């Protein structure tokens, strides 16, 4: 045992390389114990030098992002669609990686000194006594043995590598929260069963299929002699868990721009959002049970059951936590008049959402999962309580954070291909991985779709299945999971392979989505509301189908949500005094907001995004036109619904529309909803539909279907 000291004077520490603003200047001491003053000066100079280098490194990334933004604009401006912005960011990252790797020669100015003494452990903090002054060192992690002698390479690596935890703790939360916050809840909940099946069952299937196929390949490679290190079965499973998660970022962007069928969109997006969470929990469960006392890395039934238990516990815990903070925020915004101060409101919203992540991590749950469900809860309840300005502010804030984080991740991915030092590109493993990923995806989509179609009224067509198969892009989450640990040979090989899979799927599958859609004759540019309205207007029986689409557990949940949760947590919904039993009268009066009484008559289109029912299907499509382009510019034109106007006076109607607008704005955000051209702008005269039954105002049974 010995201590090896090395001088890296003039080389900034790797963690700090990208995180200048998050990190402090590391103090380098060069002079060897002369006067205090001289020491101080030298220390300060070096600290300054390192600080400057950190700034310069971060600047590279900022410039990269700026360049990406300008090019994205150019692409959008010229309506060039074959390369998506994330693919673009990756290309720029690649170019900078090549330049840094081959173009920049770092001067070899550091002196290398090796000292040794007896140490028998590596503590977290080290105090070094130099001439009576103590210097504190913190443990950075293990360095792979082979790198001990590759100082110049190591130096390159330090320049542009930052810690993978940054992905999990800074970059992913805003992306995932945004996904939850901007989720199209109506279509999402209509397909919730299928989405859960694909995301949970499908991802687990895919993980095991990929794991098994990879184990076969690895065993073959061992026989052939192509494997230079250990690769256990649990490593294979871990690889399966990593690459099974599809990416919501790219799917969202491409399908949103193409205005593809809403159900297909909901299935793909819902699956990809939820399976990120599944992949995180799955991979950490595999890691957790993997070395349970034995070194065998073999697969055991008991261990697997334990792993499954961990999975369920962590997932439900994170879910509960995310929903809990969302509900808390809703209560706070409902019962304080914070909406008079949009800045305070926005700040509170932001802090509460962030605290979900921290709370989950502090409790040992998964922050990302918690943040996702927190986002959904915030959108469903809290959003209704916010002032209009805060609604805009929060949406725009998370949109911006999401955009920056997303592009940062993709350009960093490009950069890593050349800047990462420990790449292990094994052609056989790579081929195996591509085959496995393909088969794993197929084993997820086709069998599940078959089973789901047995129960679905609205079948998932084979062309939809092919598109879902094709559009299973791998992205940020896969990358983040694989870069988290690159210490061993197996993990390095996984990382390199994963990087290639991400590049391939984003460029080839992402770019090929549009030709694929037209080849599969799936209509592009479809309008979700147009579709609904025509079916509702032309065919009364189809409305019943829509209703029956929703499974009974969700109908029960919908009623509960509409009658109790919404009125309790927001200003919308029927007053609690009408829905709660008479014995709870005083409590109900105390919890119901004054606005709720005003809404009482017009509730039928307020919740329409959630589950379709007879009473509101005809009124939900006509009152708002939102056109959104991918960059988020939004034009909203309200039109007076021709059917809702039968329900109440003009003042109530205004409020009603306001609420409906707020709901719709969240729920249909990200698609282009345009009214059919023949929609009557003038009130009822031209409408041939019978008006929906308008029951007495205080009849609560109407809301219970």
Interacting residues with a second copy between 301 and 340 (CB under 8 A): 332, 336-338, 340
Q: How far is the CB of 395 from a second copy (least distance, A)?
A: 10
Q: Is 539 in the site for a second copy (CB under 8 A)?
A: no
Among 103, 104, 134, 678, binds a second copy (CB under 8 A): 134
Q: Which residue of 253, 320, 404, 435 would you call a contact of a second copy, by CB under 8 A? A: 404
Find the part of the chain contacting a second copy (CB under 8 A) among 168-176, 274-282, 370-378, 518-526: 168-176
Which residue, among 189, 323, 204, has the nearest Cα to 269 in the 3D structure?
Answer: 189
Name the minimum Å distance from CB 569 to a second copy.
18
Cβ neighbors of 437 (< 8 A, separation 6 or more) are 210, 243, 474, 501
Which of 103, 105, 138, 583 touches a second copy (CB under 8 A)?
A: 138
Question: Applying CB under 8 A, does 107 fall inside the site for a second copy?
Answer: no
Segment contacting a second copy by CB under 8 A, of 363-371, 428-436, 501-509, 649-657: 363-371
Question: Pattern 610-629, binding to a second copy, x per CB under 8 A?
Answer: -------------------x
Q: How far is the CB of 640 from a second copy (least distance, A)?
A: 26
Q: What is the DSSP letter of 23?
A: S
Q: Which three-class secondary structure state does DSSP give residue 551?
A: coil
Compute the least distance from the CB of residue 109 to a second copy, in Å.
13
Measured from the CB of residue 144, what is the shortest distance to a second copy in angstroms? Answer: 8
CB of 653 to a second copy, least distance (A): 24
- The reply to whether 35 sits near a second copy by the rule CB under 8 A is yes
Residue (343 or 681) nearer to a second copy, CB: 343
Report the distance separating Cα 659 and Cα 648, nearest Å. 15
Query: Counting contacts by CB under 8 A, is residue 636 touching a second copy?
Result: no
Of 17, 72, 476, 669, the residue at the interface with a second copy (CB under 8 A) is 72
Range in contact with a second copy (rule: CB under 8 A) among 1-9, 237-245, 512-520, 577-585: 1-9
Q: Is 348 in the site for a second copy (CB under 8 A)?
A: yes
Rule CB under 8 A: say whether 13 interacts with a second copy. Answer: yes
- Asked if residue 350 binds a second copy (CB under 8 A), the reply is yes
- Grouping H, G, I as helix, E, B as strand and the rest as coil, residue 520 is coil
From candidates 82, 99, 123, 228, binder to a second copy by CB under 8 A:
123
305, 344, 431, 508: residue in contact with a second copy (rule CB under 8 A): 344
Q: Which is nearer to a second copy, 20 or 620 (CB)?
A: 20
Best CA proximity match to 320, nearest among 286, 273, 369, 247: 369
Q: How far apart are CA 326 and CA 302, in angstroms?
A: 36
Q: Is 131 in the site for a second copy (CB under 8 A)?
A: yes
363: Cβ–Cβ under 8 A, 6 or more apart, which residues? 317, 321
Cα 606 to Cα 663: distance, rounded to the nearest angstrom = 7
| Contact string (CB under 8 A) for a second copy, positions 191-220, x = contact | ------------------------------
Specify whether the CB–CB gap between 572 and 659 falls below 8 A: yes
Binding of residue 109 to a second copy (CB under 8 A): no
**CB of 41 closer than 8 Å to CB of 157:** no
Q: Which of 428, 437, 413 is nearest to 495 (CA)?
A: 413
Residue selected from 152, 229, 364, 523 as contacting a second copy according to rule CB under 8 A: 364
The H-or-E segment that residue 548 falls in is: helix 540-549
- The piece of 261-269, 392-400, 588-596, 683-691 that touches a second copy (CB under 8 A) is 392-400
Backbone phi and psi for residue 524, each to the nearest 5 degrees, phi listed first: -110, 150
The rounded distance, in Å, linking the Cα atoms of 493 and 479 is: 13
Of 162 and 418, CB closest to a second copy: 162
Is residue 553 part of the contact set for a second copy (CB under 8 A)? no
**What is the sign of the dihedral through the CA atoms of 102, 104, 109 and 110?**
negative
Q: Which of 305, 607, 292, 264 lies closest to 467, judged by CA?
A: 264
Residue 179 interacts with a second copy (CB under 8 A)? no
- Which residues does 122 contact at the CB level (< 8 Å), separation at least 6? 139
Which has the closest alpha carbon to 692: 641, 639, 647?
647
Contact predicate 197/468, CB 8 Å: no
Reduced to 3 states (helix: H, G, I; strand: E, B; else coil), residue 505 is helix
Which range binds a second copy by CB under 8 A, 368-376, 384-392, 517-525, 604-612?
384-392
Rounded to whole angstroms, how far apart are CA atoms 377 and 360? 16
User: Binding residue for a second copy (CB under 8 A) from 79, 109, 117, 581?
Assistant: 117
Residue 6 or 702 having the CB closest to a second copy: 6
**Contact status: 518 vs a second copy (CB under 8 A):** no
- Tell me the two tokens of residue 391: 């609604």
Number of residues that bind a second copy (CB under 8 A): 137
Q: Under the criterion CB under 8 A, does residue 102 sit at the interface with a second copy?
A: no
Name which position in 104, 105, 136, 594 contacts a second copy (CB under 8 A).
Answer: 136
What residues between 38 and 57 interact with a second copy by CB under 8 A? 38, 40-41, 43-44, 46, 48, 50-53, 55-56
**Nearest residue (CB) to a second copy, 124 versus 677:** 124
Sign of the CA dihedral running 416, 417, 420, 425? positive
User: Where on the phi/psi map is residue 521: left (φ > 0), alpha (ψ -120 to 50), or beta?
Assistant: left
Secondary structure (DSSP) of 626-684: EEE-TT--EEEEE---TTGGGSS-HHHHHHHHHHHHHHHHHHTTTS-B---TT---S-G
Member of 141, 455, 553, 585 binding a second copy (CB under 8 A): 141
Query: Does 461 engage in binding with a second copy (CB under 8 A)?
Result: no
Nearer to a second copy, 292 or 587 (CB): 292
Nearer to a second copy, 456 or 634 (CB): 634
Residue 662 contacts residue 175 (beta carbons within 8 Å):
no
Of these, 82, 99, 108, 128, which contacts a second copy (CB under 8 A)?
A: 128
- Alpha-carbon distance 667 to 659, whole Å? 12
Is residue 633 near a second copy by the rule CB under 8 A? Answer: yes
**Per CB under 8 A, 396 contacts a second copy:** yes
| Number of other CB atoms surrounding residue 264 within 10 Å | 23
554 binds a second copy (CB under 8 A): no
Q: Pick one of 101, 169, 435, 504: the residue that binds a second copy (CB under 8 A).
A: 169
Q: Which of residues 255-294 bind a second copy (CB under 8 A)?
A: 287, 291, 294
Question: Count of alpha carbons within 13 Å of 82, Cβ hemisphere only?
Answer: 3
Alpha carbon distances (Å) from 370 to 247, 334, 362: 18, 22, 12
Neighbours of 196 (CB within 10 A): 14
Q: Is 237 in the site for a second copy (CB under 8 A)?
A: no
- The minimum distance between CB 361 and a second copy, in angstroms, equals 4
**Minimum distance from residue 168 beta carbon to a second copy (Å):** 9
Residue 700: how many other CB atoms lie within 10 Å: 15
Q: Which is nearer to a second copy, 201 or 332 (CB)?
A: 332
CB 270 within 8 A of CB 188: yes
Q: What are phi and psi of 400, to 5 degrees?
A: -65, -45
């Amino acid at each position: 045992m010995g201590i090896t000291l090395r001088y890296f004077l003039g080389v900034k520490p790797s963690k700090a390389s990208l995180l200048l603003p998050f990190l402090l200047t590391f103090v380098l001491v060069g002079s060897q114990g002369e006067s205090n003053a001289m020491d101080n000066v030298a220390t300060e100079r070096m600290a300054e030098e390192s600080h400057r280098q950190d700034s310069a490194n971060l600047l590279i990334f900022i410039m990269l992002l700026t360049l990406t933004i300008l090019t994205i604009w150019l692409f959008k401006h010229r309506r060039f669609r074959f390369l998506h912005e994330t693919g673009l960011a990756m290309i720029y990252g690649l170019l900078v990686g090549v330049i840094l790797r081959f173009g920049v020669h770092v001067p070899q100015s550091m002196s290398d000194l090796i000292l040794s003494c007896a140490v028998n452990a590596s503590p977290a903090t080290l105090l070094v006594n130099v001439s009576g002054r103590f210097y504190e060192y913190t443990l950075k992690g293990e360095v792979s043995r082979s790198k001990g002698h590759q100082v110049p390479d190591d130096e390159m690596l330090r320049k542009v590598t930052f810690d993978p935890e940054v992905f999990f703790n800074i970059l992913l939360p805003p992306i995932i929260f945004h996904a939850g916050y901007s989720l199209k809840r109506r279509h999402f909940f209509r397909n919730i069963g299928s989405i859960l099946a694909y995301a949970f069952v499908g991802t687990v299937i895919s993980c095991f299929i990929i794991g098994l196929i990879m184990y076969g390949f690895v065993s073959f490679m061992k026989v052939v002699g192509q494997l230079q290190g250990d690769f256990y079965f649990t490593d294979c499973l871990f690889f399966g868990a990593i690459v099974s998660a599809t990416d919501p970022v790219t799917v969202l962007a491409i399908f949103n721009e193409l205005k593809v069928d809403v159900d297909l969109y909901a299935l793909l997006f819902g699956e990809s959002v939820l399976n990120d969470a599944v992949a995180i929990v799955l991979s950490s469960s595999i890691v957790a049970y993997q070395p349970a006392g034995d070194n065998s890395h073999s697969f055991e039934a008991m261990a697997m059951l334990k792993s499954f238990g961990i999975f369920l516990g962590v997932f439900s815990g994170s879910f509960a936590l995310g929903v809990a903070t969302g509900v808390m925020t809703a209560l706070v915004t409902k019962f304080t008049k914070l909406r008079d101060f949009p800045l305070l409101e926005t700040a509170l919203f932001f802090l509460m959402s962030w605290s979900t992540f921290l709370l989950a991590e502090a409790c040992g749950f998964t922050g990302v999962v918690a943040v996702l469900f927190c986002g959904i809860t915030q959108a469903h309840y809290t959003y209704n309580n916010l002032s209009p300005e805060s609604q805009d502010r929060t949406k725009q804030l998370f949109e911006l954070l999401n955009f920056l984080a997303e592009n940062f991740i993709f350009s960093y991915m490009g950069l890593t291909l050349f800047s990462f030092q420990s790449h292990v590109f094994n052609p056989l493993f790579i081929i195996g991985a591509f085959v496995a990923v393909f088969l794993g995806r197929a084993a997820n989509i086709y069998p599940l779709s078959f089973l789901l179609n047995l129960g679905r009224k609205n079948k998932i067509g084979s062309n939809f299945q092919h598109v879902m198969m094709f559009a299973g892009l791998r992205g940020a989450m896969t990358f983040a999971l694989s870069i988290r640990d690159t210490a061993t040979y197996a993990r390095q090989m996984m990382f390199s392979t994963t990087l290639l899979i991400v590049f391939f799927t984003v460029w080839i599958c992402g770019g090929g989505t549009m030709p694929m859609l037209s080849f599969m004759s799936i209509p592009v540019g479809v309008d979700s509301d147009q579709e609904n309205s025509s079916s509702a207007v032309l065919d009364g029986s189809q409305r019943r189908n829509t209703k029956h689409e929703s499974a009974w557990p969700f109908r029960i949940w919908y009623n509960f949500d509409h009658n109790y949760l919404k009125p309790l947590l927001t200003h919308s919904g029927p007053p609690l005094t009408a829905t709660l039993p008479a014995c709870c009268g005083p409590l109900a009066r105390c919890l119901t907001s004054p606005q709720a009484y005003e809404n009482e008559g017009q509730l039928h289109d307020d919740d329409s995004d959630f589950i379709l029912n007879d009473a509101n299907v005809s009124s939900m499509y006509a009152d708002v036109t939102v056109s959104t382009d991918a960059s988020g510019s939004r034009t909203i034109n309200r039109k007076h619904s021709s059917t809702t106007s039968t329900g109440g006076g003009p003042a109530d109607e205004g409020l009603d529309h306001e609420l409906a607008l707020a709901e719709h704005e969240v729920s249909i955000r990200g698609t282009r909803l345009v009214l059919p051209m023949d929609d009557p702008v003038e009130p009822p005269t031209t409408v041939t539909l019978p008006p929906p039954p308008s029951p007495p105002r205080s009849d609560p049974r109407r809301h219970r279907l």
